[in-house]
Homo-oligomer: A and B are copies of this chain.
């Protein structure tokens, strides 16, 4: 590997001068600068990022924490982060936490051991865990006091879900609630329930982990109580659609179903899924930008991105 020493020898100056010429920090005469750049090109010199990271105690790697990359919501987020990262000469290390606090702290430790430039976390406990000597941190789709965060407008999304079902004539609604630990799911159901109540609509709630109970045999009368089902995300909605089909309950005629996320798949299910579209890629992209601001000592005010209803056949 060609190092800065080789380059220095080639050009006939000291390594310090080469370093200054390359990084643009400190003085370097135009003449030397040109010769250094030319030689760097010619010898195909690439600075060793590890040495750099050790010296400056800040690498150009950002750590990204997600519950599970297999959940189709996250690849898009990560893509948004990664695209923006590479544009800014940064790399992305991913960690799957499986909602496990121990795994989270382990990853945080790892990120620190790697002199990471910062952390983007879409897991819940990270913001709460008192974590000393942590890197710059952006919370994605999660909020916690004292940390900058970026999220979609979940309150609005929840309202839109309810409003749409109401407009489509639903008046007995089942609200399925997502994972309670996540502020995003809580905000959605707050918006939903608030809207249902101001419109005087009958509703019941169900935790997503009790979903299977709905579809066991002999429960079709329980289900036919409702003519609208609000799901906390699209994946849950797929399961609901499947369960309804198995019980021969017609969607959207007998019951209308609305999801949340607008995953690519939602156009392919049958009936295609009405849902709330979130700017998932942009969440990731902007999260990275915020992180860079934060790392540069600039302010990184929290962001809330807009959401919109996506009408399809399920309502």
In the complex, whether A91 has a CB less than 8 A from a CB of chain B is yes
Q: List 16 A-B contacts (CB under 8 A).
A: A46-B112, A50-B53, A50-B54, A54-B54, A69-B69, A70-B75, A72-B72, A72-B75, A75-B75, A79-B96, A93-B93, A94-B94, A241-B268, A265-B268, A268-B269, A270-B270
Check if A49 sits within 8 Å of B269, measured CB to CB. Answer: no
| A50-B114 in contact given A69-B78, A269-B269 (Cβ < 8 Å) | yes
For A75, give its contact among B69, B110, B113 (CB under 8 Å): B69
In the complex, whether A238 has a CB less than 8 A from a CB of chain B is yes
Mark contacts of A68-107 with chain B using CB atoms, 8 A cut-off: 1 yes-contact digit, 0 otherwise: 1110101110110011001000011111100000000000
- Distance in angstroms from A17 CB to nearest chain B CB is 21
CA distance A49 to B114 in the complex (A): 5
Check if A94 sits within 8 Å of B96, measured CB to CB. Answer: no
Residues of A237-278 whose CB lies within 8 A of B: 238-239, 241-242, 245, 265, 267-270
- Range of interface residues on chain A? 35 or more
For the complex formed by this chain, how many copies does it contain in all? 2
| A59-B50 in contact given A238-B265, A269-B270 (Cβ < 8 Å) | yes
Which interface residue of A46, A94, A238 has the most chain B CB atoms within 10 A? A94
Residues of A45-64 whose CB lies within 8 A of B: 46-51, 53-54, 59, 61
Check if B76 sits within 8 Å of A75, measured CB to CB. Answer: no
CA distance A68 to B78 in the complex (A): 11
| A96-B110 in contact given A69-B78, A265-B265, A268-B239 (Cβ < 8 Å) | no
Check if B113 sits within 8 Å of A49, measured CB to CB. Answer: yes
Check if B69 sits within 8 Å of A113, measured CB to CB. Answer: no
In the complex, whether A202 has a CB less than 8 A from a CB of chain B is no
In the complex, whether A189 has a CB less than 8 A from a CB of chain B is no
8 A-B pairs closest in CB distance: A270-B270, A238-B268, A49-B113, A69-B75, A50-B54, A50-B53, A50-B115, A70-B75
Which interface residue of A47, A61, A113, A269 has the most chain B CB atoms within 10 A? A113
Residues of B within 8 A of A49 (CB): 110, 113-114
Check if A113 sits within 8 Å of B270, measured CB to CB. Answer: no
In the complex, whether A133 has a CB less than 8 A from a CB of chain B is yes
In the complex, whether A109 has a CB less than 8 A from a CB of chain B is yes
Residues of B within 8 A of A74 (CB): 75
Check if B46 sits within 8 Å of A113, measured CB to CB. Answer: yes
CA distance A79 to B75 in the complex (A): 11
CA distance A103 to B91 in the complex (A): 13
For A93, give its contact among B53, B91, B113, B133 (CB under 8 Å): B91
Check if B59 sits within 8 Å of A109, measured CB to CB. Answer: no
- Distance in angstroms from A23 CB to nearest chain B CB is 15
In the complex, whether A222 has a CB less than 8 A from a CB of chain B is no
Find the B residue at minimum CB distance from A91: B93
- Distance in angstroms from A251 CB to nearest chain B CB is 11
